[in-house]
Structure 1
Amino acid sequence: MSEDRMAALEARVARLEDERDIAGVMASYGPLVDGGDADGVAALWAPDGVYDIDELFLAGREQVRGMVRSAAHQGWIRQGCAHVVGPPHITVEGDEAVAVCHSLMVVHEAGRYVVRRATANHWRLRRAASGWQVVTRTNRVLDGRPESPALLAGGVRGV
């Protein structure tokens, strides 16, 4: 195999590994947050990372950790809930990445499961020494407002 072909193959494998690792970070959110692992959830974010949700704005790991430990979130866990992150579309550019996906928050109410939220998710991630970390995650409810589908479409374009 020529050096050029080998270099191209190595680049393809590296990109696939990055995409896999990023998808793993994203897929970790649901099990960690539903398991009440505040430190594990916070560790997904960069130290100065932001989690921008319709209902709240969290700046830094400490605020992300606090959200998981909050009485409201602990109540969701006790009631029964599942944060389900759909398959992501990931664009990697060097040590930066953009990913988009849908997510559902399913809650247990009156003996049945109900979708509480269907959300557009836009993630910006950065490679750190410890692996990929969330720099910004923006969630907007898919309730007809134009900004929600715009987050998804922009992310597919790598924006």
Structure 2
Amino acid sequence: MSEDRLAALEARLGALEDERDIARTMASYGPLVDGGDAEGVAALWAPDGVYDIDEIFLAGRERIREMVRSPAHQGWIRQGCAHVVGPAHITVEGDEAVAVCHSLMVVHESGRYVVRRATANHWRLRRTPHGWQVVTRTNRILDGRTESPALLVAGVRGEPATA
């Protein structure tokens, strides 16, 4: 195999590994948050990372830990809930990445499961010595407002969140 072909193959393999690692990072959010693992959830974010949810703005790992440990979140866990993160569209450029997906929060109510919210998710991630970490995750409920689908389109295009 020529040096050029080997280099091209290594680059392609590296890109696939990056996408897999980012997808794993994103997919681990649901099991960790539903399991109440505040440290594990916070570790997904860079130390100065932001989680921008419709009704909450969390800046830094400590705020993310607090959200997981909060009485409200612990109540969701006791009631029965599942944060389901859908397949992601991932764009990697060097040590930075943008990913977009849908998520559902499913809760157990009166003996059945109900979708409490469907959300557009726009993620910015950065490669660190500890792997890929979330720099910003912006979530907007898919309730007809224009900013929610705009997040999805921006993510597919590898663009920053505008919400």
What interval of TM-score do these two structures reach, taking the shorter chain for normalisation?
Answer: over 0.9
Percent identity over the alignment is: 86
Deviation at 1:156, TM superposition (A): 0.4
Q: Does 1:157 align with 2:157?
A: yes
2:143 aligned partner, one-letter code: D
2:126 and 2:41 map into 1 onto residues whose CA distance is 16
Indicate the residue corresponding to 1:111 in structure 2. Answer: 111
Alignment of 1:17-96 (within 5 A): 17-96=17-96
TM-score between both structures, scaled by the size of structure 2: 0.97
1:116 and 1:4 map into 2 onto residues whose CA distance is 51
Aligned residue pair count:
159
Q: Which runs of 5+ in 1 are unaligned?
A: none
Indicate the residue corresponding to 2:16 in structure 1. Answer: 16
TM-score between both structures, scaled by the size of structure 1: 1.00
Q: Which runs of 5+ in 2 are unaligned?
A: none
1:126 and 1:115 map into 2 onto residues whose CA distance is 31
1:99 and 1:116 map into 2 onto residues whose CA distance is 23
Indicate the residue corresponding to 2:128 in structure 1. Answer: 128
Q: Give the SS at the match of 1:102.
A: strand
Q: Which runs of 4+ in 1 moved over 4 A?
A: none
Q: Does 1:97 align with 2:88?
A: no
RMSD over aligned CA atoms reads 0.3
